[in-house]
Structure formats: C-alpha cells, structure tokens
Structure 1
C-alpha cells in the first residue's frame, strides 16, 4: 500500500483532492493510505520518512511548502514531492528541493491522475531497489543501487556503501538468491558484488569501485560471463577486451 500526504490549508481544496483520490483508486485498483496536514509545519516538524508521495501546497500560513520541503529533504531524499500552487513561477522553484512535478490550481481530475500515475511509477521503481535487512534492535532499509558489494565475515553480512557500512545478520547463500535479479553476482565465497561497479578483472582479482576483491578460480569464468551479459550483447569482442583486463 502506498502512503500519501496532502499538505493543504484550504479544506475545500483538500476535500476535492481526496475525492480525486477515491476515484483514482476505483479506476486503477491502487490502495493509497492518505493523511491530511493543514500546514507545512504539521508535517515537517519531527518528520519521519513514512510517506511515498507528498502533495504540497506552496503558500500556507505558518510554514510555506518550500520551507517544509527543505526540512523534509534533510531526512528523506526519496519521497516524491508534487507542489500545488496558483502560480507557475512558484512551482518551477521545485528543482531546489528535487520536486518531481507540480499541479496548477484549480486542478482537473485528468491532470491529477496523470501526475499521480507518474509519481506511483517512480515510487514502485525506487522500492524495487530497496531491501530491509535485520540489524541489532530492528531493521535497516538499504538502497541496493548504492551498494558496491556485500562481504560475509563469520555469521554477519556487511553492505559496503559510500557513506556507511551496514552490518546485518544473514547468510550469503540466501542473499545471493535474492540479489541476483538486481545485478549482483557472487565472485567468491565471501563476496557478492554489484556488477554496476565492477571496473576491471585482472588475474584472480576484480576492482569494484576502486577496491580489489578476490575471485575464486571456480567462479572466474562464470563471473566474467555474468559481467559481459550485464554490459549487454551489443558489446563486441574488441570492446570486451578493452573493458575487462585479463
């Protein structure tokens, strides 16, 4: 189920949007849980990353939509923000907070439904790139597109990313079966690498985002084939030789 927030100080307009949402769900079959906030401060203060989409009015009494969006972006870079406004000049500033789009008031149902479909597709794509991994005391959401590789040390798995290393309980065999669909491949007993970040293969090592990782002899041929397949069949043999160093 998707979670959507409406941040709008005009009750009549908020009710209109809620009516559109009901019609949209009947037409498309989407299940959307909706929460209405009457001002930007109501959602931005003590914000938790628990919404997929936010429909945000720009002009509000206590905290305007741009300020609220900036505060939200401090903790949530993924939520889809669509601005609601009377003036295009306000809406085009949305790039400052990475807003996906805007709706000009009065909003027609056709315009609303088209923008919402686009937002939902974006959310679905982003969710497909995330997994929840168990950590001490709870779970951690991990963006797979930012993971360079996963290393197994003892009974723990370590997700190597640019900003932090996430430690989780789990087995490499189960993780391998889950992540193969996202472009990950097992190059040795202890490493599962994101093929997107493989820079080269040389001897019995591969370079992944600047780090040299071992490749087991039994895995080398399969690993190379997986990398070539990931790169695409349009790459001819000469390109392969340039990219993969033997």
Structure 2
C-alpha cells in the first residue's frame, strides 16, 4: 500500500488526479491510499510523516506548495514530492526541497503515469532503514545509517547524526529496542552507539566521530563481542 497525498485547492484537478491514480492502480497492480488536502497549511499542520508520495499544487491561497514542501522537508527527508503547476519557473526552488518532478497543467494521463511510475521506483530503490522520532513540531524521519550514537541526558535523548545534532524528550529503552537489530549496542547507561562508526577502543571507551564514549565495566565483554561479530560480518 502506497500512501499518497494530493494537495490541490481546485476540486476539478484533485478529482482528475484521483481518477488518474485509480486508472494507474488498475493497470500497474500498485495499491494506493489517497488523502486530499485543499491547502498547504492543511498537510503541514500536525504532519506525521505518513506519506510516501505527495502531489503538491504550487499556487494555493493560504500556504503555497513550495512553502509547505519546505516545512515538510524539515521533518521528512524521504517522502517523494512532485509539484503540480502550470509554470516551469519554479524548477530551481524545487531542487532546494528535493522535488522529484513536475506535473504540468493541463495534466495528461500518459505524462502523469510515467512520473508516478518514477516516483514509485524511487521509493523502492531506497533501502534505507527509517525510524520516526517524535518532535515538538511533528515527526522527524531519520535514516538509521546516519546515526552515530544517542546520548541520554536527564529526560532527554541527544541524537548525534551525520546531518547534525538534535534533542527530544524520550526514553533510551524505546530506541534501544528498535535499534538492537541494526548493530546498535548500549555501551553504558548513557550511550547507545552505532557499531558501524566505532573507529577504535582505548582506555575503556569507544571512539566515534572523534569522541570517546565510556564503556561500562559490566558491558565491556559483551560490547567487544558485539563489535567483533559486526566486523566479521562486514
């Protein structure tokens, strides 16, 4: 099931796109759950990262599609965004939000079906392992391979990733369980580390991204065994 959003303020175009999707579904065997939004602010308000593909009109009354796409990209790096427009001068700004393509009005089924097929291919090519992290502003999708380590600090968790650092209010135990099958190991009470990024072990600590993260004495043997198993399996 592919979750697809149509963000279009004109009912006639929204209906046409819905009919095209139904036709494409019958021809391709792909199944869609389609959700319609009438303006950019509707989809961004409480966005939960639930969509695989977003068809976004650019010109809308309250929040234009480009602004909505920028807000969505802050939370969701994976969703495929395709703009619906009768103007091609948005191409440069489209690259800034990693838009896959443009559907030009008036929309023809043949062109639309080709672009939709391309969007589905992008979804299937991505073999990234994604987790969702609850943020005050919504849900952030995070590629597991980009996480260096997670640090527990009071009631907060600090995520150290290749894209930077951020903090959320959460329990370490929740993420330890989610990430255990992806070569993450609890080196001590305060750190959950990605074994992929361990550059070495010295003085009772593992080195990740130039930082020394303490390995507790009680976990040292298990940590070294887990690291060895990971390296052997590469």
Q: TM-score scaled by structure 2? A: 0.68
Q: Distance between the aligned counterparts of 1:35 and 1:2, measured in 2?
A: 14
Residues 9 and 35 (structure 1 numbering): CA distance in 2 closer, same or farther, change over 3 Å?
closer
Q: Secondary structure of 2:48's match?
A: coil
Q: How many residues align?
A: 219
Partners of 2:82 and 2:101 within 8 A in 1: yes
The yes-or-no answer on 1:30 pairing with 2:13 is no
Question: SS where residue 185 of structure 1 aligns?
Answer: strand
2:120 paired with 1:117: yes
How many angstroms does 1:29 deviate by? 4.1
User: What residue is the counterpart of 1:5 in the other structure?
Assistant: 5
Please show how residues 228-243 of structure 1 align to structure 2 within 5 Å: 228-229=231-232, 232=234
Kindly report which structure 2 residues correspond to 1:74-113, keeping only aligned pairs within 5 A, or say none: 76-105=76-105, 106-107=107-108, 108=110, 109-113=112-116
User: CA shift at 1:194, angstroms?
Assistant: 0.7
Root-mean-square deviation over aligned CA pairs: 3.9
5+ long unaligned stretches in structure 2: none
Q: 2:166 aligns with which of 144, 155, 163?
A: 163
Larger RCO, structure (CA 8 Å, separation 6 or more): 2
Which residue of structure 2 lines up, in the alignment, with residue 49 of structure 1?
48
In the TM superposition, what is the alpha-carbon distance from 1:48 to its structure 2 partner? 2.6
Q: Which residue of 2 aligns with 1:129?
A: 130
Query: Which of 205, 211, 219 does residue 222 from structure 2 map onto?
Result: 219
Instruction: Sort the Cα spacing of 1:93 and 1:203 in 2 relative to 1 into closer, same or farther, 3 A.
Output: same
| Structure-2 change in CA distance of 1:194 and 1:12 (3 Å) | same
User: Is the Cα–Cα contact under 8 Å of residues 80 and 100 in structure 2 kept in the other structure?
Assistant: yes
- 1:14 is displaced (CA, Å) by 1.9
Q: 1:165 to 1:227 in 2, by over 3 A?
A: farther
CA distance in 2, matches of 1:2, 1:57: 20
Contact 1:4 1:32 in 2 (8 A): yes
SS at match of 1:82: strand
Higher strand share goes to which structure? 2
Closer/same/farther in 2, CA of residues 141 and 99 from structure 1, 3 Å limit = closer
Q: How far off is 1:77 after superposition?
A: 4.8
Which of structures 1 and 2 has the bigger CA Rg?
1
Q: Which residue of 2 aligns with 1:239?
A: none
Partner SS for 2:9: coil
Listed as ranges, the gaps of 5+ residues in structure 1 are 233-246
